[in-house]
Structure 1
Amino acid sequence: MTAEVAVVGLGAIGSMALWRLAERGVRVHGYEQFGLAHDQGASAGETRRFSVQSQGDPRFTPLAVEALELWRELSDGELFRQTGGVIIGPEGTPAIASALASAREYGLPYESLAADELRSRFRQHVVRDHDVGVTDPLAGYLRPEASVAAAVGRARALGAEVSLETEIVAVESRPDGVAVVTRGGSKTYERVILAPGAWAGGLVPGAAGMVVPRRLVQGWYPAKNPADYRPEVFGVFERVGDISAYGFPSLDGATVKVGVKFGTHPVVDDLRRVDRVVDQRHLGRLAEAIHDFFPGLRPEPAIVRTGIEGYSPDGRPLLGPTSADHRIVVACGFSGSGFKFAPVMGDIAADFATTGSTGRKVSFLAAERQPAAGRVK
């Protein structure tokens, strides 16, 4: 064996698993079917929101707190910027109640704001009389492409082997180990971490029904007064309830990235032939949402991009060994709000790949489980 552990897929989770394994002195080999920090998965789009509060399951909150420390360990100040953030929505919205409860349960800093306070402090947003908000001073934004490159770079510096532009044909259980089969041959490892993101269906046992590739749209909207959207004065945000939207401060001094979700993101049937065209009807709905809730932005986007993410039915990632072969560790289905957890989830995958278990309380993320209600936030 040339290495003890292989990591298949070097997106958010795989890159971090590679780094955390190399940090432990494990001989590790990472595989990626595309180039480093590519745009064919969920680790693209310039920014990702970070928050320690949970809008769904409070068991995620301690993982987010631990992830924050690992982000700071990896970051040189450019990967994670702490701007603070706010969640806004109608009073009584479950996501707001959950975020508030998680902050209280774990002793995190926060403020609960009524509509008048929101209008005074967050004037870039339309705040209606029935809206309330919860602030998160620890929130900020992450740079996904740079983060993936940094994690892989750190792993390489620690001795990890990396194979880019290498398509994996199969991962096979064998008596002497787990074989990673490429078009050029195969290599056998003691353990393998499968972190192929939206591409899980062809590699991860049972993932065809548990990790669904979906297409999402994000837009960058020109600011009427760019100074109002600088990171120093405008933090990350999320709108919940009757509108589902999220966004970031301006990174280029001209545009503001906003994502608006209309129902469920459409399923991608063929990842090799993704429709990247955003039709006029969708663009019209986006423009209407921007006009109604973000009056400081021009509703016609300067840039529109589509992305691909892999979602599980219950919104929780799949993390842990497979029952068929405990030498194979699954780490996928993180899309939605998974990027912020990447370093701690990568470290947990490294736990499973080296000791077969972890001290973190993640049994609710078991790779083979019955889907349940809930979503990662």
Structure 2
Amino acid sequence: MSTSRADVAVIGLGAIGSMALWRLAERGVSVHGYERFGIGHDRGASAGQTRRFSVQSQREPRDTPLAVEALGLWRELEEHTEPELFRQTGGVILGPDSTPEILSAIASARDNGLPHEVLEAADLGARFPQHVVRAGDVGVTDPLAGYLRPEASVATAVERAAVLGAAVSPYTEVIAVEPRKTGVAVVTRDGEQTYGRVVLAPGPWAGELVPGARQAVVPRRIVQAWYLARTPRDYHPDVFGVFERVGDVAAYGFPTLDGATVKVGITFETHPEVRDLAHVDRFVDPAFASRVATSVREFLPGLHPDPVSLQTGIEGFSPDGRPLLGPAPSDSRLVVACGFSGSGFKFATIMGEIAADFAIDGSTGRDVSFMAPDRQLLEPATSR
């Protein structure tokens, strides 16, 4: 273990932790990051080649200003790497016209003065012929939407932080975080080190380290799938943007990255809980693939319906689907940043910035009150 001293520790260098490490280092803070696996690993919530970005909100109006600010930070991070981290393809949310998610997306774009169009079924089908559009469907376009490259983004943020002086300890499992009178001790198998404050961003492993989080952040298994395109040029990023289908069918997807396959995710019900994070079942039942194939055949007929690749990952879900971001109720020296419930990656840069605010000042000027860890989600620390 590194013996360097630091003022702040970041536990977990996935989506949120890597960005917190970067933002703290950019602001001149002496910071030390710990990651139990490698940087940009495929075991948590930051694997799978792509993540959808959109500034429109389908649920929480306060998300949209954060997404707009996140976009600027993504562009700033991209200045420090050769690979493209964000590609702006434009996107669309489509589904029945009365769907709450559609109405919320329209309101968020309108209220924040963001470019968008609302397309009725005929225009929607003409604009996006790759999708099957049903009578009564509408679409909301988002010209600012696109896709992020999660693995490259995490690696770039950590590398940039290291250039700025951050200490980084990959393949180092933190087994305990212990608040004491003299600071907060971070304990690994190689010893311990004390910091002024600690950012806890362990993703689906939150229950092991975040006080009271065993019930508040549930690890769930996510399956991502790739399908062969019958005519790959129809799914090139220049002509096929990111999408999300809402309502009676819940799906999302991306343009082709390799000129052959298209990534599509379809959700039928709650993702299955992972009870043993040390032994995650990576097997995908053929019945699940068959069920997904039926939806692909119905709504995206330009794709071969049987997946050619399936990848599993784990993400941490909170009971209300909102993140936990802010000081821990048990000790304000602990900054909680977890429970992003499958929709946190596009916000990762701004969430890292806000976590840095809390680690430096104990507060933030941005409205994240709806993410407060003390919103009766965490159990008392003594119950663990």
Give the TM-score normalised by the residue count of structure 2. Answer: 0.96
CA contact 2:45–2:342 (8 Å) conserved in 1: no
Q: Which residue of 2 aligns with 1:30?
A: 33
1:61 is aligned to 64
Report the Cα distance in structure 2 between the residues aligned to 1:8 and 1:56, rounded to whole angstroms: 29
Aligned letter for 1:121? R
Alignment of 1:112-191 (within 5 A): 112-191=118-197
Contact kept? 2:207, 2:214, Cα under 8 Å: yes
CA shift at 1:370, angstroms?
2.8
> Helix, strand or coil for the counterpart of 1:268?
coil
Which one-letter code corresponds to 1:269 in the other structure? Answer: R
Q: CA deviation at 1:135?
A: 0.3
Which amino acid in structure 1 is aligned with residue 24 of structure 2?
A: L
Once residues 190 and 313 of structure 2 are traced to their aligned partners in structure 1, the CA distance between those partners, rounded to angstroms, is 30
Q: Identify which of 326, 332, 347 aligns with 2:338.
A: 332
Which residue type is aligned with residue 44 of structure 1? A
Q: Does 1:41 align with 2:64?
A: no
Q: Deviations over 1:56-96 (max 9, x none)?
A: 01011100000000001011460000000000101100000
Cross-structure match for 1:286 = 292
Q: Distance in 1 between matches of 2:362 and 2:224?
A: 39
Superposition deviation, residue 368 in structure 1: 1.8
Report the AA paired with residue 62 of structure 1: P
Which letter maps to 1:146? A
Is the counterpart of residue 111 in structure 1 residue 117 in structure 2?
yes
User: Contact 1:6–1:191 at 8 Å: present in 2 too?
Assistant: yes
Cα RMSD of the aligned pairs, angstroms, is 0.9
1:75 matched to 2:81? The reply is no
Amino acid at match of 1:262: F
Which of 203, 206, 211 in structure 2 is aligned with 1:205? Answer: 211
Q: How far has the Cα of 1:109 moved from its partner? A: 0.5
Q: What SS does the aligned partner of 1:270 have?
A: coil
SS at match of 1:96: helix
Amino acid at match of 2:23: R
| 2:305 aligned partner | 299
The answer (yes or no) to whether the contact 2:116–2:141 under 8 Å persists in 1 is yes
1:297 partner letter: L
Q: Distance in 1 between matches of 2:341 and 2:329?
A: 23
Q: Partner letter of residue 310 of structure 2?
A: V
Match of 1:17 in 2: 20
Unaligned runs of 5+ in 2: 378-384
Superposed CA offset, 1:231-283 (max 9, x none) = 00000000000100000000000000000001111111111111111111101
Identity %: 70
C-alpha displacement at 1:367, in angstroms? 1.2
2:355 maps to 1:349? yes
Measure, in 2, the Cα distance between the counterparts of 1:335 and 1:43. Answer: 12
Match of 1:237 among 235, 243, 251: 243
Unaligned runs of at least 5 residues, structure 1? 372-377
Alignment of 1:312-331 (within 5 A): 312-331=318-337
2:233 counterpart SS class: helix
Describe the superposition over 1:31-72 as per-residue Cα deviations: whole angstroms up to 9, x where unpaired: 000001001100100000000000001011100000000001
Number of aligned residue pairs = 371
* Partner AA of 2:129 in structure 1: R
State the AA in 1 paired with 2:214. A
Deviation at 1:217, TM superposition (A): 1.0
**Matched residue SS, 1:296:** coil
- Distance (whole Å) between structure 1 residues aligned to residue 39 and residue 222 of structure 2: 21
Shift of 1:335: 2.8
Alpha-carbon separation, structure 1, partners of 2:37 and 2:139: 41
Rounded Cα–Cα distance in structure 2 between residues aligned with 1:151 and 1:204: 23
Which letter does structure 2 place at the counterpart of 1:9? G
Partners of 2:196 and 2:160 in 1: CA distance = 23
Is the 8 Å Cα contact of residues 42 and 335 (structure 1) preserved in structure 2?
no
1:4 matched to which residue of 2? 7
